[in-house]
Chains A and B, each alone.
Chain A
Amino acid sequence: MGKTIAEKIFEAHIVDRPVPETAVINLDAVFCHEITTPAAILDLKARGKKGVFDPSKIKAVIDHVTPAKDSKTATQGLILRNWAKEEGIKDFFDIGRNGVCHAIFPEKGFARPGYTIIMGDSHTCTHGAFGAFAAGVGTTDLEVGILKGVCSFQLPGTIKINITGKPASGVYSKDIILSIIKMLGVNGATDRVIEFTGEVVDAMTMEERMTLCNMAIEAGGTSGICYPDRITAEYLWDFIKDDYESVDEAVEDFRKWISDSDAEYVREISFDVSELEPVATFGYKPDQVKTIRELEGTEINQVYIGSCTNGRIEDLREAAKVLRGKKIADSVRGIVSPATPDIFKAALKEGIIDVFMEAGFCVTNPTCGACLGMSNGVLAEGEVCASTTNRNFNGRMGKGGMVHLMSPASAAAASLTGVITNSPLYTGRE
């Protein structure tokens, strides 16, 4: 019997099988940020444990609240900063060089095909876009990961989603994943890996694949995962060129991770995107999804473009196409947060930042802040935000606020009219 990509990665990393359904695996990377890591650091210190399993495999960033907004967040940054120094963690990204974790770590080449990755952050599933098994974990899993380089997982079965057809112009990876979450439900993939395959995924850029995998957790999934291919190899080339003679050779090597044709799945779904329209969430669960057409006219107070879901250069480009030469509605506050310094610099160079500023957007530094209502764009009671983020829970962006998740183009369109509306980039089905 053949194996899925997740099964192959598990098999290559297994350390222990305490019971048949659970595997303890070794880790290729442990990612850390300043919200969930300090408690692990303090607990390790309280237990008198110094040292980390491998400082070169630990990557750390201050991203959730940056610059620090108060003494408490400054202290969280301080704990992470001092610890990184004490433990010799060279890949530590402090203010000025920091970006949203799931955008900056891939950009630096830290996610690779076949890797096992954990982080104290549920959207760690993003890195599955590189053909890795990447899972969000709690602080205790993170603590053991830091100390021992291992983590336990109940062996996850895989749901394979074969994405076919041709999306209409103005329909994005975000529309596809929101529509898939609607189909699966918020717990439809609990204890499962979601394998995204098919012609649509094959044609996607790494940025689009990251958007897809980013929201696997919103269906309860342990990790999203895409097959590594030429697009993966080209994205990573600067970081892997010492390991391979050519991109071709890398692509050939990556093939070892691709699921076998006779692999066994918990569920196989064919998902045709040809008829898909731009969509957005309503309500407080990410599986509550309607077409933008159905939600048309819903008034909004704020537009937020950024985050680990949709704060990458391609996202800013699509939003800028909608905004170019236009002004946002008087009733709307527009906020854009390029997800990393490199994305910010590229956007500056391409004139995209100008477009946002001319339209009336506030441009912030890279940070997670607004997405989870911590800083840089918190909503007031009763306010509504059109957002390119990944979670619309009650109170998520501020107590009593409502969040409609959508693509950057749809969010930009909403900023111009003050209501949810289809972007001019969506021209309907051909």
Chain B
Amino acid sequence: MKKFDGKAIFLDRNDINTDEIIPAKYLTEVTKAALKPYLLEDLKLEGFSTEQLADRNAVITKENFGCGSSREHAPWALEVNDINIVIAASFARIFRQNMYNCGMLAVELPEENIDELFRTFGGSGCSVKTDLENQKIKFISGNTELEYEFNISGFNKDLVKAGGWVEYADTRY
């Protein structure tokens, strides 16, 4: 199973789309590794630059993350940058399924939790610690700590634990 812990980057906007996560012109690459330098290249967001991604392992963002194209290049671009978990108020369907299908974790938290995270850590940043088995996620910075429970269906949890949909389906169908 992949690791879902580490330092988070906060992306303060709704509707961050797949073209912003990885522009279409890079879809001519057939290896995941080649996508690494282009993650979030087209995202225009105050205070954000792609250099900040270097030491991050999690994304915290708002509503409808990953909307638009079906390109799995979006989770792949995150994965090759060592980001295996996105925490958001909501996700677009295809992106969310692509995450689980790749053995990655899409964590949906209620809007008030997301707002609290932005209020508490938005400026300073924080670390994420995930307990998938018990469906709990902790956000830590210095002495400040917030912990939430999250929902994930037994099926999607099994996909993440199996390493993805290919691994899961191979033994069953």
Contact = CB atoms under 8 A, between A and B. Distances in A.
Interface of A: 15-16, 18-19, 21-22, 24, 35-36, 38-39, 42-43, 47, 64-65, 70, 72-73, 75-76, 79, 120-122, 124, 136-141, 143-144, 147-148, 150, 152, 154, 186-187, 190-191, 217, 220, 222, 285, 372-374, 391, 393-396, 399
B64 to A, nearest CB: 4
A124 B93 CA distance: 14
B94 A76 contact: no
Contact of B19 (A16, A120, A154, A396): A396
Contact of A285 (B15, B29, B94): B15
A136 B70 contact: yes
A281 B161 CA distance: 42
Interface stretch (B97-105, B109-117, B127-135): B97-105
B89 to A, nearest CB: 10
A136 B90 CA distance: 19
A332 B88 CA distance: 42
A187 B64 contact: yes
B154 A19 contact: yes
25 contacts: A16-B172, A18-B158, A21-B153, A47-B166, A76-B30, A121-B70, A124-B70, A136-B70, A136-B94, A138-B97, A138-B98, A139-B98, A144-B173, A148-B169, A148-B173, A150-B173, A152-B97, A152-B155, A187-B64, A285-B15, A373-B25, A393-B68, A394-B19, A394-B42, A396-B19
A190 B23 contact: no
A140 B23 contact: no
A138 B72 contact: yes
Contact of A374 (B24, B30, B70): B24
Contacts of A222: 93
A396 B69 CA distance: 11
Given A75-B30, A79-B30, A122-B70, 4 more contacts: A18-B154, A138-B94, A373-B24, A394-B19
A22 B100 CA distance: 13
Interface in B63-80: 63-64, 67-72, 75
Contacts of A372: 19, 24, 69
B44 interface: yes
A124 B70 CA distance: 10
A42 B24 contact: no
Nearest to A191: B93
A29 to B, nearest CB: 16
Nearest to A395: B42
B136 to A, nearest CB: 20
B159 to A, nearest CB: 8
B92 to A, nearest CB: 6
A139 B166 CA distance: 11
Contact of B15 (A138, A140, A152, A186): A186
B19 A395 contact: yes
Contacts of A138: 70-72, 75, 94, 97-98, 101
Interface in B11-44: 15, 17, 19-20, 23-25, 27-30, 32, 42, 44
A137 B165 contact: no
Interface of B: 15, 17, 19-20, 23-25, 27-30, 32, 42, 44, 63-64, 67-72, 75, 90-94, 97-98, 101-102, 153-156, 158, 164-166, 169, 172-173
B16 to A, nearest CB: 10
B94 to A, nearest CB: 6
Contacts of B92: 187, 190, 220
A187 B67 contact: yes
Contact of A24 (B30, B94, B154, B173): B173
A103 to B, nearest CB: 18
Contacts of B23: 373, 395, 399
A199 to B, nearest CB: 30
Given A75-B30, A136-B70, A186 B64 contact: yes
Contacts of A21: 153
A393 B20 contact: yes
B165 A144 contact: yes
B94 A137 contact: yes
B20 A394 contact: yes
A139 B28 contact: no
Contact of B166 (A22, A143, A285): A143
Nearest to A38: B30
A15 B173 contact: yes
A341 to B, nearest CB: 24
Given A18-B154, A374-B25, A395-B19, A140 B70 contact: no
B28 A72 contact: yes
Contacts of B15: 186-187, 285
A19 B156 CA distance: 9
Contacts of B97: 137-138, 141, 152
Contacts of A136: 70, 94
Contacts of B30: 38-39, 42, 72, 75-76, 79
A-B residue pairs, 7 tightest by C-beta? A138-B72, A138-B98, A140-B101, A187-B64, A72-B28, A372-B24, A136-B70
